[in-house]
Structure 1
Amino acid sequence: MVEFAIWHWLAFGALVVFLLALDLVVFHRHAHAPSFLESAGWSAFWIGLALVFNGFVCWWRGTEAGVQFLSGYLIEKSLSMDNIFVFAVIFRFFAVPLMYQYRVLFWGILGAIVLRLAFVLTGTALIHRFDWVMAVFGALLVYTAVKLVRPGEEEVDPERNPLLRTARRFLPVASGDGGKHFFVRQSGRWCITPLFLVLLVVESTDVVFAVDSVPAVFGVTRDPFLVFTSNIFAILGLRALYFLLANVIEAFRYLHYGLSAVLAFVGLKMVAEYWLAPAGEHLVSPAVSLAVVAFLLTTSVVASLVAQLHERPSIPVASAVGIEAIKTEEEVPVR
């Protein structure tokens, strides 16, 4: 396993803070609805940046470390497609104007970064102390893989979110529309706005995603630095990817089968390596794992696109998500 010193973590953290500050202060200082071309450009930028970092890891720490990072990034990026669908459902449920969705996702990503760091460090500590944790992680991934292909398992109901219910019960919620603000002052006291409730729901759903995605990356590398950096690069590009694909995400009808196959492969690999491989060794090399993951995901995407071309549905898939339905500064209702 490649070891990274503490200053590597600090340098990467500084890079992430710089990129987020640049994004917020310079490029997205004013709330607006990102166009398709803008979203495509930002998606290309974040993917390109991840690949540059991947090349740097290969040059600095060797090909094996680079392959492990790329495998983790590809797994995390593919799992983020599920995030996009859930985020679209949440924004539609709360009728969030398109120009405010980016703001929610930006601050949601800050929370996700802290959460992933906690998950990675906790997972690393558990693996070092109890080697059987890898088998438990693997079994969890197999269970999640089965859930992905079971009918009805992908139903999302934001109204049942426990964090949302708790906030409504114990915190004062502003009446009317708070605009882009998360907190407003009404009747002499500070209140949370409907947009803050949306942020809470987004943050809480990321906890569920992290439970699946972090163990999945541990399945291809046990190096916490590579696990964390691959997670963060995928998360940084999530906002642009959302605005690029939210309208057509349901066109990828077979993607969940590909994701299920990836999780099952990684999960079974983790269980098998715990029982059959010497400590710290791989039954399946990182390069082969990368090839398998890429093949499964590519097959599911191509199959989805072929099926979409053959059927040519009369109702545009964009209407299923509804992101284009709300582009003006409408009131965000408190439900």
Structure 2
Amino acid sequence: MDVTPLAWTLTIVFVVGLLLFDFIFHVRKAHTPSLGEAARWSAVYVGIAILFGVGVLVLGGSEAGGEYFAGYITEKALSVDNLFVFLIIMTSFKVPRADQQKVLLFGIVFSLIARTGFIFLGAALINSFAWIFYLFGLILLVTAGNLIKSEGEDSHEADNIMIRVARRLFHTSDRYDGDKLFTVEDGKRVMTPMLLVMAAIGGTDILFALDSIPAIFGLTQNVFIVFTATAFSLLGLRQLYFLIDGLLDRLIYLSYGLAAILAFIGVKLILHALHENNVPFINDGEHVKVPEISTPLSLSVIIGVLVITVVASLVSPKGRAQNAVSGARRHATQYLDTNFESDPGLRQKIYDKLLDEEQTILGLPEKYRTRIREEEKLTRLLKQAHDEHDAYLDQPGTSGDARLGERLVT
């Protein structure tokens, strides 16, 4: 598919326009998006991506259209996995809920810039060195193995090298000042933790790009399709974060599904490398006659694996248990941190979620309850949240539904 400079220019302007629209109308004024707002705008961005794909299908043909949708779905799935780390980073740094949107938008913009750089670098390497397909294939196979090995409650941690470097380089104040990067303390201009969070998110984005770019190049070598599929998978990620916040911990088999997809694409890349082989020590530098995986088959495998993964996660008792335990731990921490959410109504919603998760934990079979990591620490945390809520309700003039019910701790 040949793409004119005008088409490139219009596409880039459109993507930048969407980012500016998101900032001006949604992010500039700090607030916590409602579920309805997140759902509506998530649907809008997915719709835009689908319409763009239909345009590629009509103008570029079935092969180009299939490559775009395979790339978009794969990158979107990898982006959802990235949301786990974003969630843990912002929980670790106790980013106020209303200010998380700006952090997410920064992460999306930085990720798009970083991945665009990797895209053009990858394209240049592919054009110059045919053996790069072997390297990309091995990267994906190793990544798939690491995803399977790290599967578990602690498989997503906010402790990579970029975060550790950021903590060493940026000495910040102890408190946030809205979404400002700098504030004044004792007459001196100091950095706020928001700068550290953005540095951590930005650094993590670079690590994510090292996996995602080889994956999409395994599905298409058309730079325009690679760029647009990547860009549209990132747009709307902020809204998706708030939409599926409560379901992230439930997708316990997502890493297995992504591992299967990355391994499949890794094999596809290596088969393509063998087919185009010119490496002297492999078959004397001659092409190797091996079957190549078609785009329709790739798209079918990617969709099939993701459907099975999501359905298995949602119906799994283990997923329900892990979701309840992780959610209770997170919501108790959030409720106790008044900087995270100062609005009494939204704090009540956090507490209501905590109560619902405790009810779920109480109803778990004994084999799942005995697997709760750091159970005593969790129990103390929940008791603190209940004590804090009871003290709030005892204040003169306070109204609201306590919804105490049966608790995990009393």
TM (normalized to structure 1)?
A: 0.89
Counterpart position of 2:308? 299
CA distance in 1, matches of 2:163, 2:17: 31
Counterpart position of 1:24? 23
Alpha-carbon distance change, 187 to 37 in structure 1, aligned in 2, over 3 angstroms:
same
* 5+ residue gaps, structure 2: 278-286, 342-410
Q: Does 1:288 align with 2:301?
A: no
Tell me how far 1:306 sits from its aligned partner: 1.7
**SS at 1:247 equivalent:** helix
CA offsets per residue over residues 17-59 of structure 1, 9 Å max, x none?
1111111112333110111111111111111010000011111
CA distance in 2, matches of 1:310, 1:88: 18
Stretches of 4+ moved more than 6 A in 1? none
RMSD: 2.7
CA distance in 2, matches of 1:265, 1:306: 25
Counterpart position of 1:144? 143
Structure 1 range deviating more: 175-184 or 258-267: 175-184
CA offsets per residue over residues 149-185 of structure 1, 9 Å max, x none?
1146864554x55444545545552353222111234
Write the letter of the residue equivalent to 2:7.
H
Alpha-carbon distance change, 320 to 77 in structure 1, aligned in 2, over 3 angstroms:
farther
The structure showing larger relative contact order (alpha-carbon pairs under 8 Å, at least 6 residues apart) is 1
Tell me how far 1:307 sits from its aligned partner: 1.2
Structure 1 range deviating more: 43-52 or 20-29: 20-29
Counterpart position of 1:7? 6
Write the letter of the residue equivalent to 2:213.
V
CA distance in 1, matches of 2:319, 2:167: 46
| Paired residues, number | 329
Q: Does 1:196 align with 2:207?
A: no
Counterpart position of 2:58? 59
Counterpart position of 1:319? 328
Tell me how far 1:186 sits from its aligned partner: 4.6
CA distance in 2, matches of 1:314, 1:256: 15
Q: Is the 1:142–1:264 Cα contact (8 Å) retained in structure 2?
A: yes
Tell me how far 1:253 sits from its aligned partner: 1.2
Identity value in percent: 35
Alpha-carbon distance change, 60 to 206 in structure 1, aligned in 2, over 3 angstroms:
same
Structure 1 range deviating more: 37-46 or 258-267: 37-46
Structure 1 range deviating more: 135-144 or 189-198: 189-198
**SS at 2:42 equivalent:** helix
Tell me how far 1:325 sits from its aligned partner: 2.7
Q: Is the 1:98–1:323 Cα contact (8 Å) retained in structure 2?
A: no
CA distance in 1, matches of 2:291, 2:41: 36
Write the letter of the residue equivalent to 2:53.
N
Counterpart position of 1:231? 230
Structure 1 range deviating more: 69-78 or 21-30: 21-30
Counterpart position of 1:249? 248
Write the letter of the residue equivalent to 2:297.
V
CA offsets per residue over residues 84-142 of structure 1, 9 Å max, x none?
11111111111111111111011121111110110000000000000110111011001
Write the letter of the residue equivalent to 2:204.
T
CA distance in 1, matches of 2:12, 2:262: 28
* 5+ residue gaps, structure 1: none
Structure 1 range deviating more: 217-226 or 171-180: 171-180
CA distance in 1, matches of 2:263, 2:156: 23
Write the letter of the residue equivalent to 1:286.
T
CA offsets per residue over residues 276-331 of structure 1, 9 Å max, x none?
3688x981111111001101111111111121499667936533554993598617
